[in-house]
Structure 1
Amino acid sequence: MDINSDLGESFGAWRMGDDAAMLGIVTSANVACGFHAGDPAGILETLRAAAQRGVAVGAHVAYPDLVGFGRRNMDPTSQELVADVIYQIGSLQGLAAAAGTRVRYVKPHGALYNTIAQDERQANDVITALLAVDPSVTLMALAGAPLIGWARARGLRVVAEAFADRAYNDDGSLVSRRLPGAVLHDADAIAERMLRLVQTGEVESITGRSVPVQADSICVHGDSPGAVEMARRIRARLEQAGVALRPFVD
């Protein structure tokens, strides 16, 4: 199993998360590309730390929405969205090369992630961008989303992920952040929840139902309160149960 986290999101004097601590726990790092968060110097620092730790690096591409942290819905034209994603991946590739690592996968962020899970037009725009830059990169997507089939049909490798710190609806979608209980905080309960996911392929929905979630990676949001302790507890619980932890990319 892989554990990933969203990193490189600090912006100047505004600090977001603890990248150094998270990179000692996770096996993959979704690194911001400057559109929803992150500045070049901070991103480069995170990439260097990831390279030193042997953590796989992915491009955390987003809508151009610094004020909204990439969590506001947008409706760019296909021409805009394709170019925006190409631009972000290319920028991170340059910084990654300077840091002694490379971009192995792409994970869309926030509103873009949720939109392309279901919206075929925007999904195909993102797929087109990945194929144009590097057809060998892996796309990380929400487990069970139609996006997975669309991307595989066009020749991309796709890895499905589950969210440790987010509540699920009965249909396997994520509970909106605007609703109570959408974000989970109890580190021990979350660790047990993720062990159940690994062992059974199921999570408990917000209504208490068992929901099938087939995933090869577990995400802990780096900006969540207590994120480092949450990731640490998840890793410890999985290792205690004999689960091998490694990046999903070779």
Structure 2
Amino acid sequence: MCDLTGKTALVTGASRGIGQAIATRLAAKGATVVVHFGTDQDGATATVDEIERGGGAAFAVRAELGVDDDAETLFAGVEAGLAGRALDILVNNAAAAPAGPIGVTTRTQFDHLFAVNVRAPYFIIQRALPLLRDGGRIVTISSVATRMANPAQTSFAMTKGAVETMSMTLANELGARGITVNAVAPGSTLTPANGTAFEAPGLAELIAATTALDRLGRPGDIADVVAFLASDAARWITGQVIDASGGLFLGPRL
């Protein structure tokens, strides 16, 4: 199940955290992985090294997202590395972090969020389509922020709502080519980058208590869901948002 032998995959934001876990998991399943990074070259190199130590194949491509011609810059490196091979799997994982509640979010922060979290994946998909094989897979990482009212993440949640709608509509458009398009919505997920955010006394325990499975998420939890969606086992799933939060805020546990 979830065998990706012979497939090629592009994972954006794969130098750390959830993106790194996705890249290494896809490679472990047999895919050749393009490890995209924006600024963290050391992290991207570490991802590629980990994949190669495990017997997989990968190469890194740098491209700043949210700027003019970001998709073209990205795919110049992707196409050079693939050397004529088609792309089978595209995972839009890279994202800018929440900018804060409406009272403090600036126009610059707001525009940056939408440029990275909405515009970039949209035009990355547009640029990928000629390279993407019929029967391919597109997965975009969303967030449970779209189904919860968190005033500190209003603009961030708006961006994730946009990519969920994008995924649904593109699934309808691209289905004739056998391409599935889905979104995955993580909840509170502990990564090396955000670990300090959970260090406040009692915070991790408080969040875990609001989760049906009674713990914080781990990058590997999300990577397994993406690997499934990228495989032939998920061939009949498209246009969906898969909640991968461990049951965050499902309701009171009496």
TM-score by length of 1: 0.42
Higher-Rg member (1/2): 2
Structure with the higher fraction of residues in helix conformation: 2
TM-score by length of 2: 0.42
